[in-house]
């Protein structure tokens, strides 16, 4: 499936896919916990509950982000996605705390595990479901620059690694007979979840702070602008930022004072088109100035 341009209403179907996966894995992992009594598998089930809440939040925010610009939101609603990813990151940290508490209790009072083979088989099926959905969400999220879907995908991938660690830990309990391995694995899982939550929250905060475009995209932009620098033509006051799926670029273009307004306008049109071709979904704001009118201290790019 291909999603084109700024029309992002179709992205909500991927949020529904994530919700379906979360509901399925919650059922499977809860069953695995009830079968075995493993606190490691319980931690895995708790993380899937966070997945479900995060997916519901992503669905709500993707719906908002897909709304067209209006009088009060002239640049659209794409920043709504950051609220989803921040919420999911915070929920991940809460889940990690709950897992840690349960693990410490079990570490103090170890308990034997039951029907380990069946419980692990159920957990492995749940992990495979999460892996398949995560790969789909990650591919679509990167292609459409959806921070909500990317955050959801990374959370699911963390869930998969969590499940793998839990399966190994429970297997070691069976092989060695050391019951405390189970809560120790759960504590390791909690630490991994904390790191995932911190990364998601940090990325969301950077987006809300209108951080400049990444270095790679900055290089692409500079290459495009360099093609338009000619005798008497320069640019300065270049600023960039990202808001959700959209990029924003603004700059002043300096031309010889003897140019006509029409000639300057045509140049700006070519610059804007080339920037949008190189960096899709970019809003380009240009301002035309006579070259002799550049303010002292402004940084001017020229060949």
Residues pairing with 286 in the sheet: 251
Q: Which of 208, 233, 267 is the last residue of a domain?
A: 208
Task: Please determine, for residue 301, whether its predicted confidence score (pLDDT) is greater than 70.
Answer: no
Q: Which of 51, 61, 62, 66 lies closest to 18 in space, CA to CA?
A: 51
* pLDDT value at residue 273: 92
- Identify whether 173 is part of a domain: yes
Quick one: 174 and 270 in the same domain?
A: no
Domain at 105, CATH number: 1.20.1510.10
**Res. 3 pLDDT band, cuts 50 70 90:** very low
Buried b or exposed e, range 228-239, using 16+ CB within 10 angstroms: beeeebbbbbbe
Q: Which of 187, 208, 229 is the last residue of a domain?
A: 208
Which residue do the tokens 């708790």 mark?
46
In terms of DSSP bridges, do strands 300-301 and 282-290 run parallel, antiparallel, or are they unpaired? unpaired
Q: How far apart are CA 137 and CA 17, in angstroms?
A: 9
Quick one: 247 and 266 in the same domain?
A: yes
Quick one: 156 and 276 in the same domain?
A: no
Q: Which of 174, 208, 242 is the last residue of a domain?
A: 208
Number of domains in the chain: 2
Buried b or exposed e, range 127-157, using 16+ CB within 10 angstroms: bebbbebbebbbebbeebbbbbbbbbbbbbb
Give Cα separations from 141 to 82, 88, 149, 291 (angstroms): 13, 16, 5, 42
Quick one: 131 and 173 in the same domain?
A: yes
pLDDT tens, position by position, 57-108: 777 777 776 677 777 776 666 666 677 677 777 777 777 777 777 778 777 7
Quick one: 135 and 283 in the same domain?
A: no
């Amino acid at each position: 499936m291909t999603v084109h341009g700024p029309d992002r209403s179709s992205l909500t179907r991927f949020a529904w896919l994530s919700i379906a996966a979360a509901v399925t894995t919650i059922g499977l992992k809860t069953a695995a916990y009830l079968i075995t009594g493993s606190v490691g598998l319980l931690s895995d089930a708790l993380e899937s509950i966070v997945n479900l809440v995060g997916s519901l939040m992503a669905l709500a925010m993707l719906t908002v982000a897909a709304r067209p610009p209006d009088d009060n939101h002239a640049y659209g609603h794409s920043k709504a996605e950051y609220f989803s990813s921040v919420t999911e990151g915070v929920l991940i940290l809460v889940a990690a705390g709950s897992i840690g508490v349960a693990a410490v209790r079990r570490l103090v009072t170890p308990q034997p595990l039951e029907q380990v083979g069946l419980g692990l088989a159920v957990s492995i099926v749940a992990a495979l479901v999460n892996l398949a959905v995560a790969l789909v969400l990650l591919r679509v999220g990167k292609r459409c620059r959806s921070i909500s879907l990317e955050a959801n995908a990374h959370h699911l991938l963390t869930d998969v690694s969590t499940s793998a660690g839990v399966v190994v830990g429970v297997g070691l309990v069976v092989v060695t007979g050391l019951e405390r391995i189970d809560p120790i694995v759960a504590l390791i899982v909690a630490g991994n979840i904390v790191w995932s939550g911190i990364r998601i929250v940090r990325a969301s905060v950077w987006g809300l702070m209108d951080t400049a475009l990444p270095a790679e995209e900055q290089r692409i932009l500079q290459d495009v602008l360099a093609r338009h620098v000619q005798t008497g033509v320069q640019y300065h006051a270049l600023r960039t930022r990202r808001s959700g799926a959209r990029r924003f670029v603004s700059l002043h273009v300096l031309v010889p004072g003897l140019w006509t307004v029409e000639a300057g306008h045509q140049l700006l049109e070519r610059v804007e088109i080339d920037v949008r071709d190189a960096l899709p979904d970019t809003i380009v704001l240009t301002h035309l100035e006579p070259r002799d009118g550049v303010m002292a201290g402004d940084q001017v790019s020229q060949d």
